[in-house]
Amino acid sequence: MNFEDIFNGGGINASAETLPQVYGLDDDKSIEKVKQLTEFAMSAEYDHDLIESVKGLSDSNDEALVLLHLVNKFFVHKSQEAGEELMVKLAFSLTMSLAKLESKDVISKSQVESIAQALGEAIDEITKE
């Protein structure tokens, strides 16, 4: 497949509902293979072990690329979830710290409100990205 074929839809079903379907792959089989690969990736000692596993499970180059993309997407999603969870914990911890500082008369209520507002805005900016 050359560069022009890619942009003219050569060999793919651009109107498919899922990525495996775009390349004529079975969704259920692809899901099972992605599950196997993600489990393997978490325990693989070397990066090339995962690549060799993908090559072994795939019936074509297209399938190998789709599987690698979906495994990568899974791990990116997990990383984002972990980041969001960390942000919630951080916000709670900061809020509790501000409350303690106020109760010990280290900072005033208006200072707590100003700091909380600034932290909220910063967290919102970070989570937008």
Q: Tally the domains of the chain.
A: 1
Structural contact between residues 38 and 76, judged by C-beta atoms closer than 8 angstroms = no
| Surface-to-core class of residue 78, CB atoms within 10 Å of its CB (0-12 exposed, 13-18 middle, 19+ buried) | exposed
Residues in the chain: 129
d(CA 41, CA 75): 10
- Contact of 112 with 102, CB cutoff 8 Å: yes
pLDDT in tens, the chain (129 residues): 454 455 555 567 878 899 999 989 999 999 999 999 999 999 989 989 989 999 999 999 999 999 999 999 999 999 888 888 888 888 888 888 988 998 998 999 899 889 888 888 887 887 776
**Domain span at residue 82?**
3-128
CB-CB contact of 30 with 70 (8 Å): yes
